[in-house]
Structure 1
Amino acid sequence: MFYKNTPCFSLILQPYSRLVLKLIPPKSFRQLKLMSEETKAEQATADGPTIFDKIIDKSIPASIIYEDDEVMAFHDIHPQAPVHFLVIPKKRLNQLSDATEEHTALLGKLLLTAKNCANLMVLEKGYRVVINNGREGCQSVYHLHLHVLGGRKMKWPPG
C-alpha cells in the first residue's frame, strides 16, 4: 500500500489521484472504503501478534501521544476525522467482551487516557470515543483499542 508521504505515491499515484476521485462519486468512495473495513473485520482473527503489539514493542513506528507502563495513545494511520487517535492497553486484551472484573482499573485508565489526550489535542468542543467489539462490531484488530475522533461535528446515528 502506498502512503502519501512516500516518494512512490508522489511519483506514481499523485498525478492520478484527482482523476480517480473525480471518477468515483464521494459517497461511493466512502462506501468502498467502509466495505474494505468490513472485509478486514470479517477476516480478522485473534491469533498471533497484531499491529498494536508491534507498535508497543517499537518494531514499527507510530506517532505516539502518550505512553506509560499500562497504556499507549497514538495517531491513527487512516484518520476518519481531523483528530483521530487510538488508546490501547499494553497488556493485550483481545476485545471488550473478554474483559472481567480484574480489568476494571485498566478500562478506567483507558478512558481517562482518552480524555487527557483529547485535552492535549484541544478537543474542548467535544469528541467521540468508539470501541468496535467482535466481527459484527467491525473489529479488525483483535487487541482492545479505543478510537477517539474529534475536530468536527460528529453525525448521528453513528452506524
Structure 2
Amino acid sequence: HICCADSVNEENVGNIAHIFTKIPEITKSLGLTNGYRIVNNCGEDGCQSVKHMHFHILGGKKLNGTMA
C-alpha cells in the first residue's frame, strides 16, 4: 500500500515504475493516440479523496493547458 506520492521510496518505487510501463499499453488500447494526461492527487490540498496512490488517465479530446 502506498498512500500518496509523498510515500514513494526506494522500497516501493518499482511498483510505480511498473504502473508507468503499463500506461502506454492502456492508452493504446483506449485509442488515445494523440496524447493524454496522467493525474495523481496528493494530500488534502491536492484533493486526494482516496487514501491510496492511483492515477487518472485523461484523454480523448484536446485538454486545457492550465492546471488551476
What is the TM-score when the length of structure 1 is the normalising length? 0.41
Higher relative contact order (CA 8 A, sep 6+): 2
Distance across 2 between alignment mates of 1:103 and 1:153: 33
* DSSP-derived class of the 1:134 partner: coil
Deviating runs (4+, > 3 A) in structure 1? none
The amino acid that maps onto 1:139 is Q
Q: 2:52 aligns with which of 143, 146, 156?
A: 143
**Structure with greater Cα Rg:** 1
- 1:122 corresponds to 2:38: no
Distance across 2 between alignment mates of 1:127 and 1:99: 23
The 5 Å alignment of 1:2-151 reads: 92-151=1-60
CA RMSD of aligned residues (A): 0.9
Distance across 2 between alignment mates of 1:115 and 1:134: 26
| Structure 1 gap segments, 5+ residues each | 1-91
Task: State the match for 1:16 in structure 2.
Answer: none
Distance across 2 between alignment mates of 1:126 and 1:110: 18
What do residues 68-100 of structure 1 show as CA deviations (whole Å, max 9, x unaligned)?
xxxxxxxxxxxxxxxxxxxxxxxx211110111
What is the TM-score when the length of structure 2 is the normalising length? 0.92
Residue 130 of structure 1 and its aligned partner are, at CA, apart by 0.5
